[in-house]
């Protein structure tokens, strides 16, 4: 079976299936089409599959033209019919892995997908889990479901884990040129998975087991979470000391070795950094070990929206205004610059906390025209001089490049800049408060350092 499948992959005769056509699955599907494979995209959402079959794209990093080309050629189909998975030679699972309210892993999507795959699995099939999860998932959850069908992993079917490394909005690194880590249940599983990804991805990195591959992704994002937590705490330290944290960071970054630049902000967002470390922490709790760095970083990072709102409250207080009744405009609600992804965005927490204090909150985001949160729908407002002038405070939460920040400075009376977006602009009438502005400081030139 191994040699037959390897030959199919080499000849591009293998049919590839992707389960989950979101930020991970759709870009992978398009790269497989570009590499010459026929791809079946399976998703439970009729809205998503219908959109794609019309040649449209719901993912910012995937151009509609690319989808339209592959749909028209017959290389790509999107379907809600799980039976089509039986036509595939390779299946990549790219479904969400959120956290429950208790911060425990919610494995319902992976369990559902693995059950669906097992139902339609056949000899000569490669199954790869790409969804971020805790070490042991591939071996403990997927392998038994395949073996219940009488399939021997490593002989009849091939099972591996390969963590997704998608960075939405990254202009340099995308699915094809981001190295792909692969770990199979058996050496044969690794060989088949390697051959599959090498047909599409520039660099493929084998590891000894799916557990090692699962842990790679968790280490990557735990590293980022801990370092962001450190620099966020440094921002609080600088605030107490009356020192500009951005000046300190830029000076430290001049060291050519031993320092990696991270920057503070209003919190962390996205599907990876706020969530992935908790998968590792949960797994280790089951082994009676407490992951102290992970827990502390999460505590610091999750408290940043409260820190920002306190900064806003003190800034308004300097103007003899209370938060209650003040008109606050939030600039940027996506979780990071120049994308439309709002998953776990700290802007949502900032807006909620302000509204709980009685503020009248509006937002502007050129990438997010509207969103719905807990039954409440909000719409982006136009950024006009009149709006800025009538606003008591403007809060820069996400520093999209397409926003005219000089206009904001020229028209708004007060700006709270959590991203250092205004550092290189000329001072204007607006009073600017940063993450490390002294609470009662007023600047003679209109800008508080």
Hey, which residues are catalytic here? 272
Provide the CB-side half-sphere exposure for 140 (13 A, CA): 9
Contact by Cβ (8 Å): 218, 276: yes
Task: Give 347's contacts (C-beta < 8 A, 6+ positions apart).
Answer: 266, 269, 330, 332, 333, 334, 335, 363, 397, 398
- Which phi and psi (to 5°) does residue 51 adopt? -60, -45
Helix (H, G, I), strand (E, B) or coil at 77: strand
Query: Parallel, antiparallel, or unpaired: how do β-strands 157-161 and 180-184 relate?
Result: antiparallel
Contact by Cβ (8 Å): 345, 301: no
Helix (H, G, I), strand (E, B) or coil at 198: helix
90, β-bridge pairs: 16, 126
Q: Is the dihedral of CA 111, 97, 187, 196 positive or negative?
A: positive
Contact by Cβ (8 Å): 176, 151: no
Provide the CB-side half-sphere exposure for 433 (13 A, CA): 27
Task: Give 328's contacts (C-beta < 8 A, 6+ positions apart).
Answer: 312, 354, 359, 360, 361, 362, 391, 392, 393, 394, 395
Contact by Cβ (8 Å): 389, 412: yes
Helix (H, G, I), strand (E, B) or coil at 350: helix
Contact by Cβ (8 Å): 228, 197: no
181, β-bridge pairs: 205
Chain-centroid distance of CA 418 in Å reads 20
Which residue's structure tokens are 């107490």? 240
Provide the CB-side half-sphere exposure for 310 (13 A, CA): 12
Look at residues 29, 22, 68 and name the one whose alpha carbon lies nearest to residue 45: 22
Look at residues 103, 289, 117, 137 and name the one whose alpha carbon lies nearest to residue 213: 137
Chain-centroid distance of CA 291 in Å reads 22
């Amino acid at each position: 079976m191994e040699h037959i499948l390897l030959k199919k992959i080499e000849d591009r005769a293998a049919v590839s299936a992707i389960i989950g056509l979101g930020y991970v699955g759709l870009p992978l599907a398009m790269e497989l089409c570009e590499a010459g494979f026929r791809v079946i995209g399976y998703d439970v959402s009729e809205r998503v599959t219908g959109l794609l079959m019309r040649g449209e794209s719901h993912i910012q990093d995937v151009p509609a033209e690319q989808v339209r080309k592959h749909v028209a050629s017959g290389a790509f189909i999107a379907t809600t019919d799980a039976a089509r998975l039986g036509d595939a030679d390779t299946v990549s699972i790219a479904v969400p892995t959120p956290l429950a309210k208790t911060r425990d892993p919610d494995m319902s999507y992976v369990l559902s997908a693995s059950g669906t795959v097992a139902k339609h699995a056949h000899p000569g099939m490669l199954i790869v889990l790409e969804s971020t999860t805790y070490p042991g998932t591939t071996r403990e959850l997927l392998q038994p479901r395949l073996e219940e069908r009488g399939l021997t992993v490593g002989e009849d079917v091939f099972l591996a884990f390969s963590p997704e490394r998608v960075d939405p909005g990254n202009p340099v690194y995308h699915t094809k040129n981001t190295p792909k880590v692969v770990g199979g249940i058996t050496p044969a599983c690794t060989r088949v998975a390697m051959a599959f990804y090498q047909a599409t991805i520039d660099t493929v990195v084998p590891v000894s087991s799916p557990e090692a591959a699962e842990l790679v992704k968790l280490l990557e994002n735990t590293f980022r979470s801990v370092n962001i937590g450190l620099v966020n705490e440094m921002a609080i330290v600088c605030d107490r000391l009356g020192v500009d944290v951005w000046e300190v960071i830029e000076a430290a970054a001049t060291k050519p070795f031993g320092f990696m630049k991270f920057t503070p902000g209003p919190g962390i967002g996205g599907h990876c950094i706020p969530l992935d470390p908790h998968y590792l922490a949960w797994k280790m709790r089951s082994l009676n070990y407490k992951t102290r760095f992970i827990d502390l970083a999460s505590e610091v990072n999750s408290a940043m929206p409260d820190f920002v709102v306190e900064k806003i409250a003190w800034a308004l207080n300097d103007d003899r205004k209370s938060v209650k009744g003040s008109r606050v405009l939030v600039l940027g609600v996506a979780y990071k610059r120049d994308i439309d992804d709002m998953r776990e965005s700290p802007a949502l927490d900032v807006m909620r906390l302000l509204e709980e204090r009685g503020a009248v909150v509006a937002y502007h985001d050129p990438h997010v025209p509207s969103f719905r949160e807990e039954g409440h729908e909000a719409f982006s407002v136009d950024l006009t001089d009149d709006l800025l002038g009538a606003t008591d405070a403007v809060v820069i939460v996400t520093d999209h490049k397409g926003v005219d920040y000089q206009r904001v400075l020229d028209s708004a009376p007060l700006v709270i800049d959590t991203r250092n977006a205004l550092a290189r602009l000329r001072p204007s009438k607006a009073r600017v408060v940063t993450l490390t502005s002294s609470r009662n400081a007023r600047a003679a030139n209109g800008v508080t350092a």
